[in-house]
Amino acid sequence: MEDKQLYRKISSAAKWSSITEIIAKVIVPLTNMILARILAPEAFGVIATITMIISFADMFTDAGFQKYLVQHEFESKKEKNKSANVAFWTNFVFSFFLWGIITVFNEQIAFMVGNPGLGIVIVIACIQLPLTSFSSIQMALFRRDFDFKTLFTVRVISIIIPFLVTIPLAILGLSYWSLIIGTICMQLFNALILTIKSKWKPKLFYNFKILKEMVSFSIWSLIEAISIWLTVWIDSFIIGYYLNEYYLGIYKTSTIMVNSFLALVTSATIPVLFSALSRLQNDDSKFKSMFFKFQRLGSVLIFPLGVGIFLYRDLATQLMLGSQWDEASDVIGIWALTSAIMIVFGHYCSEVYRAKGKPMLSFIAQVLHLVVLVPTCIIAAKFGFWPLVLARSLIKIQFVIVHLVIMKVVMKVSVLKTFKNVFPTMMAAFAMWLLGFLLKEEVSESVTLSIFSIILCAIFYFVVLILFPKMRLELFDVVVKLMPQRFLKSRR
């Protein structure tokens, strides 16, 4: 009975998480498409460096406590609430401490990230730090309880706010300030609504013994987060240092645009996967089965998205960003293809390590990747922007190899079984690529025909996919679970 209840919660969580990401991936790209036609690439370059700083500081304000609250098995609700209070006050106080450090050294930081003279901009943008720390614990508790329906409501409303705030300010000529103000408004809304909707409310309680226990668990999560930050941002830092804001804006806007489409799948599945695996961490058989199921279902959309964006990168750039972003086309294409491979064979593995309480494995994987990544990017940057883009994209394959080795040696997950698990989606994506390659040669001059060929490729992909009996049954099961129960009852 408990298993059935857990799987029902997982199914419901996955449904609401998926709906959230579908709506987000309609509104957010639409906002970016409009802003890309109003703002210059340099403005996005400034925002990229500010985001780099904020994301780094945010790691310390959270300190891995979110993952602790989701993953840890508490003996009682009272014990869970005590830990939540300790995590909340630690995050909140530390966020102000970090904001103070950034304020004192703002010009030095601005110079270091390639934006001298923008120190005050960084200080104002970093007001997000206490705002995000205020809502992070509530978000973790919602995820622990598989309450993704509430997170759906909050997320959808919050992503509309920048659309209503940022675009009007950009039209008025506020450049990067429009993006900063819009993001601050979004974080303020998140903090208020998540606190109001949460059953748990912060109380004046603190216990250093609980803090010590949480830190002993979270220290590896924090170290892992730092290594992930380096992996995500080291290329941007190198571009900002060796090149300029224009190329940083081209690069980061392109990669963010691709990531936002792929996140349609990852943001919907990874938080649910971590919560599900955390509950199954003591049952090895069910644990692995759940991992393979999520990896397989995630690949159903990730592979065709990656291949499709690569094939139609010129059209994607034209539609999403506009004519002033022509240089972004090849960045978008190669990034989408290699990211799809890395997500399926890398990102899902990271959730396995964390759910088993072994975030140090993810840290080891990041370090082994950084050892190759950093010198590769530095050397490539000296040859120019495009060699750096190509090198940075292709080096992801090395990261995949690292994850496969760790999964085999430490987690006892077969590499062969991992590939067999997603073999149908790989074959269907390859078949779609062949068709798309042939069609693209005939319709490259027409936007309308290109869009029609994309639809044909998508249909062909799923036709090939359902030729595999297991995938046919699994996709049918997913569709049934995503349908409203009232509709299914009426059909009966």
Claim to verify: residue 103 and residue 179 sit in the same structural domain:
yes
Same domain for 444 and 352: no
pTM score of the predicted model:
0.69
Give the whole-angstrom CA distance, residue 81 versus residue 69.
Answer: 10
Side-chain-facing half-sphere of 464: CA atoms under 13 Å: 21
Q: What pLDDT, on a 0 to 100 scale, did the predictor assign at position 488?
A: 41
Q: Can you give the pLDDT at residue 9?
A: 63
Instruction: Give me the pLDDT at residue 310, please.
Output: 93
Out of 370, 403, 421, pick the residue that ends a domain.
421
Q: What pLDDT is attached to residue 491?
A: 46
Tell me how crowded residue 191 is: count the other CB atoms within 10 A of its CB: 19
Both 362 and 414 in one domain: the answer is yes
The confidence score (pLDDT) of residue 15 equals 60
Q: How many CA atoms lie within 13 A of 478 on its CB side?
A: 15
pLDDT of 74 reads 79
What pLDDT does residue 318 have? 82
Rounded Cα distance between 231 and 373, Å, is: 8
Domain-ending residue, one of 421, 445, 474: 421
403 in Cβ contact with 365 (< 8 Å): yes
Tokens of 410: 């430490």
Q: What is the DSSP letter of 244?
A: -
Residues 404 and 464 both lie in one domain = no
Q: Left (φ > 0), alpha (ψ -120 to 50) or beta: where does 437 sit?
A: alpha
Residue 380 sits in the same domain as residue 460: no
The reported pLDDT for the residue numbered 31 is 73
CA dihedral 361, 367, 372, 375 (to 10 degrees): 170
Q: How far is CA 313 from CA 276, 316, 430, in A?
A: 35, 5, 17
d(CA 313, CA 295): 26
pLDDT tens series, the chain, 492 aa: 455 665 566 666 566 666 665 666 566 667 767 777 777 777 777 777 787 787 777 776 665 677 777 777 777 888 888 888 888 898 888 889 989 999 999 888 888 776 777 888 889 988 888 888 877 888 888 877 777 677 777 777 777 777 788 888 888 888 888 888 988 888 888 888 888 888 888 888 988 888 888 887 777 777 777 887 888 888 888 887 788 778 888 888 888 888 877 877 777 677 777 777 877 777 788 888 888 888 898 899 899 999 999 998 888 888 777 777 878 888 999 999 999 999 999 888 888 887 887 878 888 888 999 999 999 999 998 898 999 999 999 899 999 999 999 999 988 888 999 999 999 999 999 999 999 988 877 666 677 888 888 999 999 999 999 998 888 777 776 665 555 544 444 444
By residue count, the chain amounts to 492
What pLDDT is stored for residue 52 in this prediction? 79
Same domain, 431 and 332: no
Based on the domain organization, do 172 and 288 belong to the same domain?
Answer: yes
Which residue has 């409303």 as its token pair? 157
Cβ pair 189, 158 in contact under 8 A: yes
For residue 310, give every residue at least 6 positions away whose Cβ sits within 8 Å of its Cβ, in sequence order, or none: 333, 334, 336, 337
pLDDT of amino acid 486: 46
Q: Which residues make Cβ contacts (< 8 Å) with residue 463, sequence separation at least 6?
A: none
pLDDT score recorded for residue 487: 41
Same domain, 111 and 181: yes
Residue 134 one-letter amino acid: F
Contacts of 270 (CB under 8 A, 6+ apart): 347, 348, 351
CA distances, 111 to each of 117, 129, 182, 379, 448 (Å): 7, 21, 25, 22, 46
Assign 3-state DSSP to the chain and report helix, strand, coil percentages, each to 5: 85, 0, 15
Are residues 409 and 435 part of one domain? Answer: no
Which domain, by its residues, includes 441?
A: 422-492
> For residues 133 and 92, what is the distance between their CA atoms, to the nearest angstrom?
6
Question: Do residue 376 and residue 366 come from a single domain?
Answer: yes
Instruction: Go through 42-79 and write b for each residue having 16 or more CB atoms within 10 A of its CB, e for each that does not.
Output: bbbbbbbbbbbbbebbbbbbbbbbbbbbbbbeeeeeee
Q: What is the domain count for the chain?
A: 2
What tokens appear for 312 in the block?
A: 């139609």
Boundary (domain end) residue, out of 403, 421, 439? 421
Burial of 373 (0-12, 13-18, 19+ CB in 10 A): buried
In 3-state terms, what secondary structure has residue 243?
Answer: coil
What gap in Å lies between CA 226 and CA 360, rounded to an integer? 12
Distance of CA 201 to the CA centre of its chain: 27
Q: Which has the closest alpha carbon to 435: 447, 453, 450?
A: 453
* Structure tokens given for 147: 């309450």
Please check whether residues 117 and 129 belong to one and the same domain: yes
Q: Where are the alpha helices (DSSP H) in 76-201?
A: 77-104, 106-112, 119-125, 128-144, 148-171, 176-197
- State the pLDDT at residue 443: 66
Question: Do 367 and 436 belong to one domain?
Answer: no
Report the pLDDT value the prediction gives residue 464, as an integer from 0 to 100: 93
The sign one gets for the Cα dihedral 335, 304, 458, 26 is negative
